[in-house]
Chains A and B, each alone.
Chain A
Amino acid sequence: MYQLHELSRVYRRGHGSVTALRDVDLEIQDGEFITIQGLTGHGKSTLLMMLGAMDRPTSGSILFDGLNLATLPESRLTEVRGRSFGFVFQSYNLMPTLTAAENVEAALVPLHVTPAARRGRALAALAEVGLDERAGFFPAEMSGGEQQRVGIARALVKEPRVILADEPTGNLDETTRVEIVGIMERLWRERGLSLIVVTHDSAVARRAPRTAILDRGRLSVRSNARTADPAPVPPDRAS
């Protein structure tokens, strides 16, 4: 699905430059769960942005289903993002003026889904993360964990090929972290989509079969000895 070849990203900073990624080579298979680890500033988020077609490399290529995301025009990149990728952000990034259901619906706007169908799919996605009763709540009326579940529903609702999550548990407490990772893992297993998660948390990282480790922009890949068991799902979420 993904083929990254000699991918580099250099940021200009005044008169100098910072190399975030150096000659990264990586292949990710369809339906794979992979985590990306590394210290702060070593290129994890930059690599995720490249994989999500939100940024272009300075050099090298990044093929997604045969399309080179490094050279596609912006309009095509937007289209690919709209159809194929679902994003989950550390700070949730929900629209504060939209309800949970409307936030989820927003992901279907680029796909020209009718309003009625949008609403139905949004409610179904919220139900999938156990938030169907919070559909009419605004972000400010929900806890961090609930907001992140809305974020996951928003990523999920368009039935993407890949879910890309940037520190999805970074702002959450231990219990909620387990809950969120469990939901994402379940969706990966049940839906067969690819899951790419940037995380600082080694416990989370080890749940994936493979972990890509970035060190000053250089990538190495580690196979985790034991594939993660399904995350423990709290009793009230079990279905």
Chain B
Amino acid sequence: MYLRYLTRELRRRARSAALVSIGLALGVGLVITLTGAIAGVNAADGRVLQSLYGVGTDLTVTKAPAAGSGPVGIRISSGGGGSGQTTITGPGGTTSGPAAGDHVLPNPGLTTVASGEVAAIDRLRDVAGATGFLELQVLDVTSSGNLSTFNLDGIDPTTPGLGPLSAGNLSSGIAAARTWFAEAKQGEHVALVSAGYAKQNSLEAGSTLTLSGTDYTVVGTVSLVSSTSADVYIPLGQAQSLAGDGHEVNTIDVAATSSSAIAAVQTEIQKLLPSATVTSASDLAGDVSGSLSTASNLAGTLGLAVALVVLAAAFVMAVLLTMGSVTRRVREFGTLKAIGWRSRRIVAQVMGESLVLGLIGGGLGVGVGYLGAFVFTKLVPTVQADENPGLAAAPTTFGSGPQTIAGGVPVNASGTTTSTFGSALHSVTVPITAPLSLEILLVAIALAVAGGLIAGGVGGWQASRLRPAAALRRVE
């Protein structure tokens, strides 16, 4: 009797029932879509941070060149006056070399620290590990006077669990990296190259790469999660020799024993190396700017607010329509009370009807939500996040004579330009999707059911308050 009465009543009031269900479906669908969009934007945010920072590293220690220590950029004078020499002016002073050949330079935005500082940091309390590496840039001047550059990292082969080549930081080439670490530890001249660089220069496992006259055997290619990947990786000691830096590094990656210890470790390192810049992931997060973080904030606040307003409006509409329905059914409920139906039975009848409408609305809402998430994913453009230049190294300057850097970026007429090569400015492009989890869907259905129950509860309460005589008198 209960279900028969319920279903037939809903069929009789099909238009009003459809309005309630569609209202709830739209509200719930919007909540699903926006929650998915927020999750997608947050996930993209996370991917940007991971990409800019790397996996497994809690803190990064670098040291900017001291003010007044000379030009931050690099000035190159090639073949001027038919001298047949290339002159490079950088933070370390001025060097000259043959007109053609490679020139290994330290990262112009970073100054070096002694390798001993890595050991000192490693000994600090709450430090799980520390590794130093040397970021270098190689300028290759061809005999025809063209210039190409690539980034070279010297990696400490004794700390495979930390730094750019740690397993967690690799998206591909883990086996090659393992081989490289094993052979590099033995003092072999081995190199790993990034997948992109390998493709560009037709390199593969077994190829030979010559750096400043020394041959390196390429043991494989790798792809890093981090966007700050270099093009070529060689053992740290050999990189130091190429750079003439002795036992120095310019970046130290530090892992803390726990996330709660990061702040304390950061303070300790700062005390140990007062002139160094100690950056944590949260510092970096604060410096990520651009459309992504704006979208994240927008989605997190305005989006959720809009979803809640629409959901509240759907609830209010459901309640009003249910109350209207109860008002129209006053004689019916009055009659049921007259023949002995208890108020709770009538309330259960009204709530049951609303609950079914809530379930239908929830089911439709899931469909609407999926559709909304699909449309969102299709329509929202890929967004870009930029690391604050304040954290990045200074731009590199080329000068004196028309040159071309790797990738074919032309130097302008005045002979100067800026480039994002090296670890200068990081720009990360990520697609945004609206992933829907089972939890989101269940919560959405629960919201729709709650909407139905609220509407039914209010309507039922209204029906339960009817005095049978008044109810019958009102319509007769």
Contact = CB atoms under 8 A, between A and B. Distances in A.
A72 to B, nearest CB: 14
A107 B1 contact: no
Interface stretch (B109-117, B270-278, B339-347, B406-414): B339-347
| Band of interface residues on A | 20 to 34
A115 B337 contact: no
Contact of B8 (A78, A87, A90, A98): A98
A94 B270 CA distance: 85
B12 interface: yes
Interface string A128-143: 0000000000000000
Contact of B469 (A54, A82, A107, A115): A54
Question: A-side binding surface: helix, strand, loop or mixed?
Answer: helix
B5 A91 contact: no
Interface string B327-368: 000011011111111110100000000000000000000000
A52 B338 contact: yes
A226 B409 CA distance: 120
A161 to B, nearest CB: 13
A81 B5 contact: no
B339 A107 contact: yes
B472 A105 contact: no
Given A54-B338, A78-B337, A81-B339, A98 B5 contact: yes
Interface in A41-79: 45-46, 49, 52, 54-55, 74-75, 78-79
Contacts of B472: 49, 54, 89, 93
Contacts of A95: 5, 332, 335
Nearest to A84: B340
A87 B337 CA distance: 11
A45 B469 CA distance: 9
A83 B340 contact: yes
Contacts of B12: 96-97
A122 B4 CA distance: 16
Contact of B336 (A49, A74, A106): A106
Given A55-B467, A55-B469, A89-B472, A78 B342 contact: yes
A106 B1 contact: yes
14 contacts: A49-B469, A49-B473, A54-B469, A55-B469, A78-B340, A78-B342, A78-B343, A82-B340, A87-B339, A91-B331, A93-B338, A93-B472, A97-B11, A98-B5
Sorted from nearest, which 5 A-B pairs have the closest CB atoms? Answer: A82-B340, A97-B8, A55-B469, A110-B340, A93-B335
Interface of A: 45-46, 49, 52, 54-55, 74-75, 78-79, 81-83, 86-87, 89-91, 93, 95-98, 102, 105-107, 109-111, 115, 118, 154, 158
